[in-house]
Structure 1
């Protein structure tokens, strides 16, 4: 008699196998106190993972996205890869040629990274090279932001072997954009990499960051980025998800903002067979400003899920969110945006809008914008639209001499331009416009 494996058992085995593949090698290169701290952090998270299961569609937060096929993957840890075999030109953003940090298969690629263009007052590097003077300030913060006990976040923390770090000292203004690049290189087996990034902008500092994920072939990326903004700090953060279309991508960006800080995230989701990103922002001071911009382009049978959380905890906070999706073929996009406005958050201003464009009759969209308000003196709005290309608009453009394909492309370009133009790096704008046109 053949014994079958239930989904829950398969999920438990999936998590256990990943934990078994963790590497402790980089810990030995840290100072003793930091190494012991990291080991304890990893083991605490591994303990949480052992009590968790992979989410299913029965879980409210995952009911639109089926990730059960992850449990069928025979995942292995990636091999170290010689970065000298990778073309530098393919990795470079024109404006960030000497402000770049590269990780390949989750491992720091020093030979491809270049930080020579940075001013004084900022550290751009990895954890294992972090100066000892920074370590005592770093240890109390990594892995402490809300959501640390979620299954994929815990799995990432339990598997930390290195961390990409951007750390700006007070009053530091970096004019050039900083490029964080995480690349997955194809192997014979399905690999899993779990990048971790930690970004700090201390009081009155200003940063522009481009965080990019790309790769070839079949793999799983499970990534966590923690962002801390001090008083009156400013970060303009662009996140590019350009994974292989047969890969899997699960990411979380969690942000803590102090008084008078300004944070802007513009995320572009293009790749992944199944992808999910969870931006989670906590306003931890008065007069904070949060802007979330998003563009998802899904085709073939891709599933792309965005679950955002914005927590306004203090008076005079503002947040503005606009997320757009273009869906074609049999693809499926999900948007669930939550904005919490508790009683202490008086005199806040929150707006949220999800706009979706369907390019085929079998494309699917699930959208669920949410506002939870208990404060009584606020200005808040939310909404969602789902539409197709208007035949009248196509007819009008064709009457002006355009072909049907050119007319459709012009309308699509107009739909995406509003988001793309919010990216502060010109060469990245042009690259995304080119990819969307294709």
Structure 2
């Protein structure tokens, strides 16, 4: 009988061996030096251990169910036949079709995408949204530079993603270009005969003075066992702005691990609205590095889970220069026997004087068996800063429910109104009306 220890030891090795077969012979391997990147990443994975709850960073999140899946790394499927009607987001009321870039099992699907040449005249001529192999040659150096930044690994699953890097979503915004229409990056996991490992990779480069709105969307076809291991890299140039929506809405049998790494230059602005709805087990690691002065970071998060779902949010904001500003608000609505985890870290070293940082995690438990583990953290060595952090965990206030009943509402409607108001603080920050409507419908389902 194979022990759990033996499973852990062989799990990563087997996946790396499969990943090494991906992407061989693809022409972008030479253009971006992917072979060397994959080799370095594979060696890191082979020298690492599978995380367990004995590790401090994973003590509330047990991902051992991964070991029970006979995962297969998929090869490129040419023009997979999918109906996207239930997955699309009408991101702009002014456009007949959304600007959508679709990836299936980590590979670009141009026949499902709507970033056609006919749409580009309304955008900047140098703007690009697509995949690695179609990126213009004059962008290769910048893309290679961003990919190389991931070689300093501190996470085994990031390295696993890089070890099988064969394709990636690329959004490139040239200097002083404002792209107002949101770009919908839709990453679909399409199961096969056995559970698969899908490893989407996303690169966003916003040059100085530019701005762009990105919707990063993860979905699974069917309610089946899958493993999505996603990595996103975003570089925000001087005085540039990136508005990033991350929507994870995979099936209840999916396991989702994602990492977002953001680097911000001087005077840049980065906003992240991270929404987590799906997955049997899900975790998002968000790392922000403010590398220039007068940098602004805003992070909003909303987790809505029920049943026996486990959703984990880990964030780390590194303020390394003076006059940095950051605001973080993460909310969790937890029903039934679900379990939410939040660990937010803000680092303010001696060099980051005159920093203004605020962090708050608020949690609403809708049943006696719902659970949350929260740990907001501030590490400050600078002596001239304005910083705060906190967390709250509560159930619906009986007095508030009674007050609403006294105004003519029944008990059920009173509870629904309070839950809706709790979520609205995050949902109303989203700039896309159709997405707000979708999320309010999810709130209504939790109210039942």
TM-score by length of 2: 0.93
Q: Output the CA distance in 1 between the equivalents of 2:383 and 2:44.
A: 38
The Cα RMSD (Å) is 1.6
Aligned length: 434
Q: Say whether the 8 Å CA contact 2:228–2:257 is kept in structure 1.
A: yes
Q: Output the CA distance in 2 between the equivalents of 1:247 and 1:390.
A: 33
Moved more, 180-189 or 412-421: 180-189
Change (3 A) 1:244 1:5: same
Match of 2:181, SS?
Answer: coil
Q: Output the CA distance in 1 between the equivalents of 2:39 and 2:151.
A: 18
TM-superposed CA distance for 1:132, in Å, is 2.2
Match of residue 279, structure 1, among 257, 266, 286: 286
Q: Say whether the 8 Å CA contact 1:31–1:132 is kept in structure 2.
A: no
Moved more, 117-126 or 204-213: 117-126
Q: Counterpart of 2:251?
A: 244
TM-superposed CA distance for 1:88, in Å, is 3.8
TM-superposed CA distance for 1:24, in Å, is 4.8
TM-superposed CA distance for 1:396, in Å, is 2.0
Q: Output the CA distance in 2 between the equivalents of 1:226 and 1:132.
A: 20
Match of 1:175, SS?
Answer: strand
Q: Write out aligned runs for 1:128-277 (5 A).
A: 128-145=133-150, 148-215=153-220, 216=222, 217-277=224-284
Q: Output the CA distance in 2 between the equivalents of 1:312 and 1:241.
A: 27
Per-residue CA distance 1:70-112 (angstroms, 9 max, x = gap): 1221111236546563224333221253421101121211101
Structure 1 residue 409 corresponds to structure 2 residue 416: yes
Q: Write out aligned runs for 1:361-372 (5 A).
A: 361-372=368-379
Match of 2:402, SS?
Answer: helix
Q: Write out aligned runs for 1:37-436 (5 A).
A: 37-78=33-74, 80-81=76-77, 83=79, 85-95=81-91, 97-116=97-116, 117-118=119-120, 119=123, 120-145=125-150, 148-215=153-220, 216=222, 217-436=224-443
Q: Output the CA distance in 2 between the equivalents of 1:410 and 1:32.
A: 53
TM-superposed CA distance for 1:145, in Å, is 4.3
Structure 2 residue runs of 5 or longer lacking an equivalent are none
TM-superposed CA distance for 1:402, in Å, is 2.2
Structure 1 residue runs of 5 or longer lacking an equivalent are none
Q: Say whether the 8 Å CA contact 2:106–2:168 is kept in structure 1.
A: no
TM-superposed CA distance for 1:253, in Å, is 0.3
Match of 1:78, SS?
Answer: coil
Q: Counterpart of 1:11?
A: 8
Q: Say whether the 8 Å CA contact 1:147–1:153 is kept in structure 2.
A: no
Change (3 A) 1:23 1:108: farther
Q: Output the CA distance in 1 between the equivalents of 2:172 and 2:23.
A: 20
Structure 1 residue 21 corresponds to structure 2 residue 30: no
Match of 1:95, SS?
Answer: coil
Match of 1:139, SS?
Answer: helix
Q: Say whether the 8 Å CA contact 1:83–1:104 is kept in structure 2.
A: no
Change (3 A) 1:417 1:142: same
Q: Say whether the 8 Å CA contact 1:26–1:128 is kept in structure 2.
A: no
Per-residue CA distance 1:279-313 (angstroms, 9 max, x = gap): 10000000000000000011110000000000000
Moved more, 388-397 or 334-343: 388-397
Q: Say whether the 8 Å CA contact 1:27–1:38 is kept in structure 2.
A: no
